[in-house]
Amino acid sequence: MSADGVLPAPPVRVPGDGVLLREVREDDHARVLEAFGDGRTALWNPGPTTLAGVEEWARGRNDWDGTHASWLVADPHTDDVLGAVSLFKIDLDQGDAEVGYWVAPWGRGRGVAASAVRSAAAYGFGALVLRRLHLFHAVENPASCGVARRAGFLLEGTLRESYRYADGRFHDEHLHARLATD
């Protein structure tokens, strides 16, 4: 355990630029299910396909059990579901974590993912005193590469056939990372 970073149990709300990172509420569930029905999300970041599955997913996301800090990404004006972002595999001893995200089709193409990742990273480097955040995406997913670049995560290399995605194939992936000192 780091002497500095402490992960609180209940989700902490984080305001961002055009986004609000918050807990998942019950009245979000139908919208979350709709978002997970999107083909790209189903391929690159699959999630539950039933309302019961969303309930379980939401319970996990809202339970910061010491390994992750996860948020629903909401529109700060309408409070509608825009997506989700997570710092996971948090290692307070090493001071690092991985970042994951998706944005619903109706929220795409206007900087939501990049803003959400920047806000989550600010929380990780600030409250959790992490020093390095990394993320992986399939080489065939240029949208995710754009998010990484836009959120200040430098490309560190290409991993060969490193992860099996939902199409059942192992894909080459880009490894991107951002340091607290960047």
Ligand X SMILES: CC(C)(COP(=O)(O)OP(=O)(O)OC[C@H]1O[C@@H](n2cnc3c(N)ncnc32)[C@H](O)[C@@H]1OP(=O)(O)O)[C@@H](O)C(=O)NCCC(=O)NCCS
How far apart are CB 39 and ligand X at their closest, in Å?
A: 9
Axis crossing angle, helix 51-62 with helix 29-36, rounded to the nearest 10: 110
Residue number, 11 or 107, with CB nearest to ligand X: 107
Distance CA 149, CA 137 (A): 12
Nearer to ligand X, 54 or 92 (CB): 54
Closest CA to 171 of 145, 147, 136, 146: 136
- Phi, psi of 179, rounded to the nearest 5 degrees: -100, 155
- Kindly tell me which of 7 and 84 has the beta carbon lying closer to ligand X: 84
Helix (H, G, I), strand (E, B) or coil at 54: helix
Least Å distance between CB 38 and ligand X?
7
- Name the site residues for ligand X (rule: CB under 6 A): 40-41, 44-45, 101-103, 107-114, 137, 141-144, 146-147, 150
Q: Tell me the residue number closest to ligand X, measured at CB.
A: 146
Q: Whose Cβ is closer to ligand X: residue 133's or residue 147's?
A: 147
Residue written as tokens 């939501």?
112
Distance in Å, CB of 150 to ligand X, minimum: 4
Closest distance of CB 173 from ligand X, Å: 8
Distances (CA, A) of 174 to 8, 121, 170: 31, 19, 13
Minimum Å distance from CB 14 to ligand X? 16
| Cβ-based nearer residue to ligand X, 73 or 128 | 73
Residues paired with 88 in a beta bridge: 98
- Beta carbon nearer to ligand X, 147 or 177: 147
Q: How far is the CB of 122 from ligand X (least distance, A)?
A: 16
Q: What share of the chain is helix, strand, coil (3-state, %, to 5)?
A: 30, 30, 35
Pairing relation of β-strands 132-138 and 96-103?
parallel
